[in-house]
Amino acid sequence: MRHAPSIVPLDRLDREIYLVLEDFGARAGCSWREADEQDTEIETIIRDLLSGQYAYPVRIVAFNAIEGWSRDATSEIADELAERVTSSEITPALQAFVQANASRPFAVQLALPLRGPPEFNL
């Protein structure tokens, strides 16, 4: 019996695909967010997390269906977020996600002392 060739190009599927599990609250619970095919790359996921597309991310998985593997990428993504931004640059929910999952802490941005005339320095 002959097999018909696939109508889906294999090279399009032979890559890492990232999906985000998001918490929608006590009533709705958690759900894997629907995403367009082109929006499942690591850089797109990071950009969407930073821009607030995901309110309460819980877990991130990566998989390659052609190669037949999957893995938890939550820590990897949290580490990348911690490296790129300071905690003051992101939402409190994303801060909590990074603090709970990153293997290294946020970058610390130190405040610079302001110098002025002596009467203004307290």
Query: Cβ atoms within 10 A of the Cβ of 97, count?
Result: 24
The neighbouring-strand residues paired with 31 are 22
Please calculate the CA angle 45-102-37 and round it to the nearest 5 degrees.
15
Buried b (16+ CB within 10 A) or exposed e, 22-51: bbeeeeeeeeeeebeeeebebeebbebbbe
Q: What are the tens digits of pLDDT across the range 103-118?
A: 977 655 545 555 666 5
Position 93 confidence tier, pLDDT thresholds 50, 70, 90:
very high
CB proximity list for 74: less than 8 A, separation 6 or greater? 59, 60, 61, 101
The predicted model gives 75-85 an average pLDDT of 93
The predicted model gives 84-96 an average pLDDT of 85
Q: What are the tens digits of pLDDT across the range 11-47?
A: 676 899 999 999 998 899 999 999 998 899 999 999 9
Q: What is the pLDDT of residue 90?
A: 87
Q: What is the pLDDT of residue 89?
A: 81
Q: What is the pLDDT of residue 70?
A: 96
Contact criterion met (CB below 8 Å) for 86 and 108: yes
Position 51 confidence tier, pLDDT thresholds 50, 70, 90:
very high
Above 60 in pLDDT, residue 9? no
Question: Among all chains, which residue has been given the structure tokens 């002025």?
Answer: 116
